[in-house]
Amino acid sequence: MRVMRLPWRGDDLACRELVELVTDYLEGGLSRRERARVRRHLRACPHCTGYLEQIRLTIRLTGRLRLEDVEAMPAGRRDELLAVFRAARPG
Protein backbone atom coordinates (compact mmCIF):
# COMPACT_ATOMS: atom_id res chain seq x y z
CA MET A 1 0.00 0.00 0.00
CA ARG A 2 1.37 3.41 -0.88
CA VAL A 3 1.76 5.95 1.85
CA MET A 4 2.58 9.55 1.18
CA ARG A 5 6.27 10.11 0.67
CA LEU A 6 7.90 12.43 3.07
CA PRO A 7 9.85 14.66 0.72
CA TRP A 8 12.27 15.97 3.29
CA ARG A 9 13.52 12.48 4.07
CA GLY A 10 14.92 11.81 0.64
CA ASP A 11 15.04 8.07 0.00
CA ASP A 12 14.67 7.10 3.66
CA LEU A 13 11.47 5.54 4.87
CA ALA A 14 9.84 6.66 8.08
CA CYS A 15 8.80 3.86 10.44
CA ARG A 16 5.22 4.92 9.94
CA GLU A 17 5.63 4.33 6.20
CA LEU A 18 7.47 1.09 6.63
CA VAL A 19 4.71 -0.62 8.60
CA GLU A 20 2.41 -0.05 5.62
CA LEU A 21 4.84 -1.80 3.27
CA VAL A 22 5.31 -4.92 5.35
CA THR A 23 2.73 -7.06 3.55
CA ASP A 24 3.89 -6.04 0.08
CA TYR A 25 7.41 -6.83 1.28
CA LEU A 26 6.50 -10.30 2.55
CA GLU A 27 4.34 -11.04 -0.48
CA GLY A 28 6.94 -10.00 -3.02
CA GLY A 29 4.80 -7.11 -4.22
CA LEU A 30 7.47 -4.41 -4.15
CA SER A 31 9.63 -3.14 -6.97
CA ARG A 32 13.32 -3.87 -6.62
CA ARG A 33 13.97 -0.29 -5.58
CA GLU A 34 11.23 -0.25 -2.94
CA ARG A 35 12.45 -3.55 -1.64
CA ALA A 36 15.95 -2.16 -1.25
CA ARG A 37 14.55 0.83 0.65
CA VAL A 38 12.67 -1.44 3.02
CA ARG A 39 15.74 -3.63 3.57
CA ARG A 40 17.88 -0.59 4.27
CA HIS A 41 15.43 0.72 6.82
CA LEU A 42 15.09 -2.68 8.51
CA ARG A 43 18.85 -3.01 8.86
CA ALA A 44 19.01 0.27 10.73
CA CYS A 45 15.79 0.03 12.73
CA PRO A 46 15.34 -2.58 15.47
CA HIS A 47 11.78 -1.42 16.15
CA CYS A 48 10.59 -2.03 12.61
CA THR A 49 12.51 -5.31 12.55
CA GLY A 50 10.61 -6.19 15.72
CA TYR A 51 7.33 -5.18 14.09
CA LEU A 52 8.06 -7.39 11.08
CA GLU A 53 8.88 -10.27 13.42
CA GLN A 54 5.54 -9.76 15.15
CA ILE A 55 3.72 -9.87 11.84
CA ARG A 56 5.54 -13.11 10.97
CA LEU A 57 4.64 -14.57 14.33
CA THR A 58 1.05 -13.42 13.94
CA ILE A 59 0.86 -15.30 10.63
CA ARG A 60 2.31 -18.40 12.28
CA LEU A 61 -0.12 -18.23 15.19
CA THR A 62 -3.08 -17.60 12.88
CA GLY A 63 -2.10 -20.76 11.03
CA ARG A 64 -2.52 -22.70 14.26
CA LEU A 65 -6.25 -22.05 14.11
CA ARG A 66 -6.38 -24.61 11.34
CA LEU A 67 -5.21 -27.26 13.75
CA GLU A 68 -7.66 -26.14 16.37
CA ASP A 69 -10.62 -28.28 17.08
CA VAL A 70 -13.16 -28.21 14.34
CA GLU A 71 -15.38 -30.94 15.66
CA ALA A 72 -15.56 -34.04 13.55
CA MET A 73 -18.55 -34.21 11.27
CA PRO A 74 -21.36 -36.04 13.06
CA ALA A 75 -21.51 -39.54 11.60
CA GLY A 76 -25.25 -39.20 11.04
CA ARG A 77 -24.79 -36.15 8.86
CA ARG A 78 -22.05 -37.81 6.84
CA ASP A 79 -24.34 -40.76 6.12
CA GLU A 80 -27.20 -38.40 5.28
CA LEU A 81 -25.11 -36.50 2.74
CA LEU A 82 -23.83 -39.73 1.23
CA ALA A 83 -27.44 -40.82 0.83
CA VAL A 84 -28.29 -37.52 -0.88
CA PHE A 85 -25.34 -38.05 -3.20
CA ARG A 86 -26.31 -41.63 -4.04
CA ALA A 87 -29.91 -40.62 -4.66
CA ALA A 88 -28.87 -37.79 -6.97
CA ARG A 89 -26.30 -39.85 -8.86
CA PRO A 90 -27.04 -43.53 -8.87
CA GLY A 91 -23.66 -45.06 -9.70
Partner 1 sequence: MPRDYTDDDVLVDALLQGDGDAFAWLLDIYDGPLRRLARMYVATDAVAEDVVGDTWVAVIRGLERFERRSSLKTWLFRILMNVARTRGVREHRTVPFSSAAGALEEGAGPAVDPSRFLALDAPQNPGAWAAPPVPWDEKPETTLLAKETLAGIGAAIAELPPAQREVITLRDVEGWSASEVCNALDISETNQRVLLHRARAKVRQACENLLEDEPR
23 belongs to the binding site for partner 1 (CB under 8 A)? yes
- In this structure, are residues 42 and 52 in contact, taking their beta carbons and an 8 Å threshold? yes
Nearest to partner 1 of 27, 31 (CB atom): 27
What crossing angle do the helices spanning 32-44 and 46-64 adopt, rounded to 10°?
A: 110
What CA–CA distance (Å, rounded) separates 31 from 2?
Answer: 12
| Amino acid (one-letter) located at 51 | Y
32 belongs to the binding site for partner 1 (CB under 8 A)? no
70 belongs to the binding site for partner 1 (CB under 8 A)? yes
Nearest to partner 1 of 33, 68 (CB atom): 68
What CA–CA distance (Å, rounded) separates 76 from 60?
Answer: 35
Residues that bind partner 1 (CB under 8 A): 1, 6, 8-9, 14-17, 19-20, 22-24, 27, 29, 47-48, 50-51, 53-55, 57-59, 61-66, 68, 70, 72-73, 77-78, 81-82, 84-86, 88-91
